[in-house]
Amino acid sequence: MSKFIPLSIPNFEGNEKKYVNDALDSTFVSTVGSYVNKFEKALAQYLLVPNVAVCQSGTSALHLALIEAGIGQGDVVLVPPLTFIAAVNPVKYQSAIPVFIDCDDSFCIDPIKLRSFCEEECHWDGNQLSYQGKAVKAMIVVHVFGNMADMNAIMEIAHTYNLKVIEDATEALGTQYTEGEYKGKFAGTIGDFGCYSFNGNKIITTGGGGAITSNDPQKVDHIRFLSTQAKTDPVFYVHDEVGYNYRMTNLQAALGVAQLEELPEFVLRKQHNYDMYKQYLQDCEYASLKEFRPGTSSNKWFYSIEINRNVIKAPMKEIIQRIREKGIETRAIWGLINEQRPYRNEITYKITKASYYAERILNIPSSTQITEEDIFYVSEEIKGLFEEMRND
Ligand SMILES: *Cc1c(COP(=O)(O)O)cnc(C)c1O
């Protein structure tokens, strides 16, 4: 069999089968069942927060957070250009208006541009920020690839301008500050709302799934209520609000409980594998491994190399194809969201870094079960290939 090293695959080395079978035996396969509650409690314990609601996906988590934050038609939400599009789509679900703010070298929102947008482009009446007459109410901060955004600077701006902060921590479960004001705090537990995803490619998976927390535990209760069709009476069908069918199922949660048991080990492996790549790629002349924010312990979910475009000029598609011929799966960073068809006419603010990185960043294999031998192989093949390609 020829070699194939996947980009990122799930890992079921623990109690997954046991708990899923147990959930099946209980006949509770839908949104009621003991694993749903267990998973919420275990997540809350892990994240050091009082209340977590689990739901169907990271996307539905973000949607519920926006609803709970009071975002509605015509409100402005500040969003990132360089991430997975699901971080921004829920803004449209609410008929709100996204404004794209550039990233910095962490790929996360640039607090300097964020501040200058608020100061120079918006009007502040001492209570409400507005942009072209529309209320600017919130921002979605994505911790890209598990790298913590600059939350100190971001929260300061949010407090100055009365903006709600919705953290998209879908890629960053397990990332936390080790220094400073937020020491010990996990990504997703600093802003007003934190959203997580358990899709198949994330650090832990439930097949599909998500979770939400908030600095206000009552808001989490209300989110859970909205996610279960907003049923007011436990027996009779009384509904005082428009609800959603967004609750996680017991089958998914059974998988989640098992996966969460392994999360600390997965984080350690991702960190260790990153260190090995760093060692093997340090003499790579035409690409460099991107760092994670100092003062944090990142889950190092995805590893990124930045390609030196002064030397390697081939289109990203060709680079990926040629690495694929060596049996290695890699992936280009996303295309900019503001360039996708539904967002082409939206407002953007000083987008330069996002475009720069869109052409240069390649993600390399990062599964928790990757071997040192494979990490060495990937590193050597990439170095060799770039050496060949510099002459093209
Ligand atoms: C995965 C992801 C989401 C969406 O999560 P799903 O569970 O797939 O709905 C949202 N934002 C970012 C940045 C993601 O990586």
| Alpha carbons within 13 A on the beta-carbon side of 267 | 16
What value does the mean pLDDT take over residues 102-121? 98
- Which pLDDT score, from 0 to 100, does residue 233 have? 83
> What is the 160 CA–ligand 1 centroid distance (Å)?
29
Examine the pLDDT at 307 and tell me if it is beyond 90: yes
Q: Is the Cβ atom of 346 under 6 angstroms away from ligand 1?
A: no
What value does the mean pLDDT take over residues 68-85? 98
Lookup: tokens for 251: 């089958």
Indicate the average pLDDT of the chain: 97
State pLDDT tens for residues 271-304.
999 999 999 999 999 999 999 999 999 999 999 9
State pLDDT tens for residues 2-46.
889 999 999 999 999 999 999 999 999 999 999 999 999 999 999
State pLDDT tens for residues 256-269.
999 999 999 999 99
Q: Is the Cβ atom of 168 under 6 angstroms away from ligand 1?
A: yes
Examine the pLDDT at 234 and tell me if it is beyond 80: no
Lookup: tokens for 10: 């799930």
- Which pLDDT score, from 0 to 100, does residue 1 have? 54
Partners of residue 189 on adjacent β-strands: none
State pLDDT tens for residues 139-188.
999 999 999 999 999 999 999 999 999 999 999 999 999 999 999 999 99
Burial 115-135 (b: 16+ CB within 10 A, else e): bebbeeebeeeeeebebeeeb
- Which pLDDT score, from 0 to 100, does residue 70 have? 98
Given a contact cutoff of 8 angstroms between Cβ atoms, the answer to whether 229 and 246 are in contact is no
d(CA 166, CA 163): 10
d(CA 200, CA 207): 5
Q: Whose CA is nearest to atom 13 of ligand 1?
A: 84
Q: DSSP letter string over 306-374?
A: EE-TTT--S-HHHHHHHHHTTTB--EEPPPPGGGSGGGTTSEEES--HHHHHHTTEEEE---TT--HHH
What value does the mean pLDDT take over residues 362-378? 97
Q: Is the Cβ atom of 367 under 6 angstroms away from ligand 1?
A: no
Q: Is the Cβ atom of 86 under 6 angstroms away from ligand 1?
A: yes
Q: What confidence tier does 232 reach under pLDDT thresholds 50, 70, 90?
A: confident
> What is the 353 CA–ligand 1 centroid distance (Å)?
22
- Which pLDDT score, from 0 to 100, does residue 364 have? 98
Given a contact cutoff of 8 angstroms between Cβ atoms, the answer to whether 82 and 149 are in contact is no
What value does the mean pLDDT take over residues 89-104? 98
d(CA 355, CA 230): 42
Q: Is the Cβ atom of 39 under 6 angstroms away from ligand 1?
A: no
What value does the mean pLDDT take over residues 56-71? 98
Q: What confidence tier does 238 reach under pLDDT thresholds 50, 70, 90?
A: confident
Domains of the chain: 16-259 (3.40.640.10), 263-389 (3.90.1150.10)
> What is the 170 CA–ligand 1 centroid distance (Å)?
6
Ligand 1 atom nearest 61 alpha carbon: 9
Given a contact cutoff of 8 angstroms between Cβ atoms, the answer to whether 253 and 33 are in contact is yes
d(CA 344, CA 329): 30
- Which pLDDT score, from 0 to 100, does residue 60 have? 98
Share of the chain above pLDDT 70, in %: 99
- The residue that leads in pLDDT, 285 or 111, is 111
What value does the mean pLDDT take over residues 218-231? 96
Examine the pLDDT at 370 and tell me if it is beyond 60: yes
Q: Which amino acid is at 375?
A: I
- Which pLDDT score, from 0 to 100, does residue 391 have? 73
